[in-house]
Structure 1
Amino acid sequence: MTRKTRTDAEHNRRRILSVARAAFASEGLDLPMREIARRVGLGVATVHRHFPSRADLVTAALTEHVAACRSDMRAALDDPDPWRALSGVVRRFAEHRLRDRGLNEALFGSHPAAAAFAADRREQARALRRLVDRARAAGVVRDDIGVDDVRICLAAIASFRLTRSTVGLHRLVDLLLTGLTADGRLPVDAARSR
């Protein structure tokens, strides 16, 4: 295989994965390989050469999505401001709800591909607990707030019926975060950061 052939093959693989991830995010994981190939502008055989089965392509798309979520959580854990860290995770979850609906539904639902990411979900859950504990210790969330309360907030966001307008989801996030705060008010900079 020549260097140019390898470069072209890698470029095609990245394009296939990029198109598939966007399509799966917006339309769900049931999109046929033939449709992915059509959107990429390649033959279905080329797509199958890179991803022998739809399950392989779904797993690759979910792997990229999980890596982005992992990066978001690491950034939150590194943030020295406990409120900004916790509220940022909740806001980014809402943004993923908007952008990556099909991928999120697969990860948190009963899709068979989600099983490969069980360890990642457990690690994310531990990290979320650390963020909640840190926010409670700093006095920026109510004393009676625990990680299960934040999970309820995330479940409300995940189940929110999306429309063309994002205003409703952003308003829901503000209301949920306000309910977590120690004084019942969103910090001014947090409301502006959207």
Structure 2
Amino acid sequence: MTPGDQRPDASAAQPLRSDAERNRERIIAAARTVFARDGLNASMASVAREAGVGIATMFRRFPAKAELVDAVFIDRMTAYADAVTTALEAPDPWHGFVGYVETVCAMQAADYGFADVLTTTFPAAKALEHRRNEAYEGMLELIGRAKATGRLREDFDPSDLVLVHMANAGVVSATGSAAPDAWRRVVALLIQSFQAPARGPLPASPEHEALYRAMLRPGPSGVAAPESDG
């Protein structure tokens, strides 16, 4: 082998791999801060600025925003799924149901980004959507058990929980730091309206396919991936 044919020692690439991993963790930490503060409408560029990396580095680590959302919120989506498990373990299914609603709405209030995540579906974020689906199956069981106690109105539909999360996200966003506990009153009012006996009939719930399309609404703003480092 001639000198010109020599390849770099494999160990020389290790610092680059370590640096890349540090950049990835820095981006995830920055995204947690930015999304919690500004919600998912925050741009990839704002995350890059918070992380102190170039936009090209950002897109090398996370070519699509859904991939970044997946990495940032998988732990929160796991906590969301765990909240369903905890509710199912409650001796009183109605109290378990109420505790679940209050816990998840509190998670939304604590993190604007997660408030958005619960009302938006990301087909490309496989891990995130897998945990969401697990939680949904548990939610169906939780609703059935609460109805069986006679405390949850019979016409309550699983889509109503999605609407609760959408409503709570709107209240959290609208009140912000000016009235940070306003969501608690709204959630309490909603929970009381769920109790049996029902005071009156409800309009038809939205079709599940229609609600899914609503959760697939146009994605949050971002910036196009750069062609080069520039």
TM-score, structure 2 length as denominator?
A: 0.60
Tell me, yes or no, if the aligned pair for 2:83 and 2:104 is still in contact at 8 Å. Answer: no
Q: 1:146 to 1:51 in 2, by over 3 A?
A: closer
- The one of 172, 175, 182 equivalent to 1:162 is 175
Q: 1:97 to 1:44 in 2, by over 3 A?
A: same
* Residue 21 in structure 1 maps to residue 35 in structure 2: no
Partner of 2:94: 83
Tell me, yes or no, if the aligned pair for 2:70 and 2:128 is still in contact at 8 Å. Answer: no
The alignment yields a C-alpha RMSD, in angstroms, of 3.6
After TM superposition, the structure 1 = structure 2 runs for residues 39-188 of structure 1, keeping only pairs within 5 Å, are 39-44=50-55, 46-109=57-120, 113=124, 117-160=128-171, 161-164=174-177, 165-182=179-196
Greater share of residues in helix: 1
Q: How many Å apart are 1:172 and its aligned residue?
A: 0.7
Bigger Rg over Cα: 2
- Higher relative contact order structure (alpha carbons within 8 Å, sequence separation ≥ 6): 2
| 4+ runs deviating over 6 angstroms | 1-8
Unmatched 5+ residue regions in structure 2? 1-11, 199-230
TM-score, structure 1 length as denominator?
A: 0.69
| Number of positions where the alignment pairs a residue of Structure 1 with one of Structure 2 | 184
Identical amino acids, percent of aligned pairs: 33
Q: How many Å apart are 1:59 and its aligned residue?
A: 3.0
